[in-house]
Chains A and B, each alone.
Chain A
């Protein structure tokens, strides 16, 4: 019962290892290095990398920028709450507010065009979960996260909040259009 007894050989670190262990360690190490290289390599060759561009912000400053965008590019409103649908030009800065318990405004983007999407939370943590594409980004209060996005498929998407944010968390769901 030697795993629960002291090793028999005092100089156990000098014991030779079996071929099965040596072989497996070599294989496992190579695989680990491949996985590491994959993650680094995707930053060079891959097209899906999460930006880390971040600024400190506060609810007033961010709301002002979002309002300016809404004033300029609103094309229509939807639902009983008359949530503005914004169609910003290619390459522009697009602001999306996460707050208890909605996303504001609704965005309308164009396929294969690139936008700078600014995300922040006005109160608690929220989760940006774009469905059915299944892109998930944490939205943290006090931080403005700028993600460059290029939609590659037209359609109606949903933005689900997937970070628990209180009793009406399940009602925090919005739309995003790609034309």
Chain B
């Protein structure tokens, strides 16, 4: 098969794309954006219903829309895009052909059929079971079947990725070790295999239960294994979008990792410990022992948190070092002030990084603390947290990467660059606010997945404090602003693909050009001040730490005022 393909070198970026891989990246990315569009339209229904003054949809429609929104965004948009990222990190970065492109097409077909099947099942009604579909609440068989087909497709895609690594090694397209970004993609893919297998283990018996072959699936076993799929799939995203941050730092600044050892070591910690986090969802459950909860929820002594804190330093640190080498050495922050804030590739990535750390990271540790979970479990604080991680973190990173890929992969000039410049700010900052007010409402106890906070029709309705109503109103306003930002992204992406000026594809060749050996460079020491290569980043990291520590102990203080529980 390797003889039938061609390679082209992108004149703008110097990246080499293999024909089959390029086409597969495109179709996966386009499918992803289509599901983002569907999920975005559904988001309008969700926020306008949870905005108490509007309270738009009827209860049954609301739960149906919420189910579809969760699945389309968290699973279909993100995993389709991740398939494109995996093929990019293997075939493009390693400059080799894609292994078994026919299998990759099969993977894509299964994923697409599965995603459509699942969506149809939800829209037919009778499958409004939320993304989590906790048994014994049952959906239509097609709901589970769609997810299973999608998972099998994604699993095949993962093995195509691993196969491509083997091809690159055998064809000697690179020397030494794989690039750091590819290493991050390998991390994501290993986590994906674990995740998707867990999904299959629990969804297959549930599917059989829905068609009447299996009599019962234990509700607690379901929750335990489902979350090894549900939470771990978000860990694929973490590994993937952190790899993208490293890639964008390299693309936009020519930044190189401060030290390969530290960054790769942090990815290794992800592989070893990140999976344990499914326990986060089970801390308020019966039946599981305290020791199990404590060890798992903390990623065995917070080693995966440690890894994220390391990436949070090394990525801006690498940018700082690169900027200082270019002469932006004044004070602590000239390197940051003089960064290309008008380039959406960079601004999207940096807004994503800060929001993921400050909002998503800190809130995640609060919820994942065994005792603190009691004041957060199933409140709207939870979606506040995961919109900070998955929307600000993952989706915004994917958007930033898209702005790079439109000319490079799709060979189109981006339409309306002025609007594109604005998009990361509108989308990212309104999502910051959206997450903050959601967490605020959650701190007051407001429930997630709840149609009516006024409890209409209930004999003993609870009256939420006025502040809770205010914050849910702000959730509505911020949500609409963020959806506007998402719509601009889709307009620019789809518009550029349809109407953007065609760009030169670069010379084609039947043979790949191996990556030339990189010239060794001096170590990073010797720039900056205070003996630190990146003093500005260190200062930012200390601000983060102070915020983290303060908020952590504020929550403990709040917990200590509660009823005695033992």
Name A's B-contacting residues (CB within 8 A). 1-10, 12-13, 15-21, 23-25, 27-29, 31-33, 35-36, 38-40, 42-43, 46-52, 54, 78-81, 114, 119, 123-125, 127, 129-138, 140-145, 147-153, 158, 160-175
Contacts of B504 in A (CB 8 A): none
Which secondary structure dominates chain A's binding surface?
Answer: mixed
Q: Is the Cβ of A36 less than 8 Å from the Cβ of B301? A: yes
Q: Which of A1, A15, A78 contacts B254, CB < 8 Å?
A: A1
- Interface contact B175-A39, CB-CB below 8 Å: no
Count, chain B residues at interface, CB 8 A: 119
Known contacts A29-B306, A79-B459, A4 near B565 by CB under 8 Å = no
CA distance A178 to B365 in the complex (A): 32
B residues with CB within 8 A of A: 59-60, 63, 93, 130, 134, 136-137, 174-181, 218-220, 223, 246-247, 249-251, 254-262, 264, 282-290, 293-294, 298, 301-303, 305-306, 309-310, 313-314, 317-318, 365, 369-371, 373-379, 443-445, 447-452, 455-462, 464-465, 515, 517-521, 523-525, 528, 531-535, 537-538, 541, 545, 548-549, 552, 556, 559-566
- Chain A residues lying within 8 Å of B560, measured Cβ to Cβ, are 46-48
Q: For residue B388, give the distance in angstroms from its CB to the closest CB of chain A.
A: 19
Instruction: Choose among A6, A40, A43, A124 the residue with the greatest number of B CB atoms under 10 Å from its CB.
Output: A6
B462 touches A158 (CB 8 A): yes
**A177–B13 CA distance with the chains assembled, in angstroms:** 68
B451 contacts across to A, CB distance below 8 A: 169-170
| A30 to B287 CA separation, bound complex (whole angstroms) | 32
Main secondary structure of the interface of B (DSSP, over half): loop
Whether A141 touches B219, Cβ cut-off 8 Å, given contacts A3-B246, A10-B176, A129-B447, is yes
Q: For residue A29, which residues in chain B have a CB less than 8 angstroms away from its CB?
A: 306
Report the bound CA distance from A25 to B346 in whole Å. 26
Contacts of A171 in B (CB 8 A): 455-458
Instruction: Report the Cα distance A49→B519, complex, angstroms.
Output: 57
The one of A20, A27, A124, A137 that contacts B532, using a Cβ cutoff of 8 Å: A20
Give A143's nearest chain B residue, CB to CB: B286
Q: Are A143 and B220 in contact (CB under 8 A)?
A: yes
What 3 A-B pairs have minimum CB-CB distances, sorted nearest first?
Answer: A2-B256, A150-B564, A145-B286
Instruction: Give the residues in chain B near A173, CB-CB below 8 Å.
Output: 455, 458, 460-462
Say yes or no: A170 contacts B456, CB within 8 Å.
Answer: yes
Query: Which residues of B lie under 8 Å from residue A78 when comparing CB positions?
Result: 460
Contact B563 A20 (CB under 8 A): no
Given contacts A138-B377, A145-B287, A162-B447, 5 further A-B contacts (CB under 8 A): A6-B178, A23-B532, A50-B283, A119-B286, A150-B565
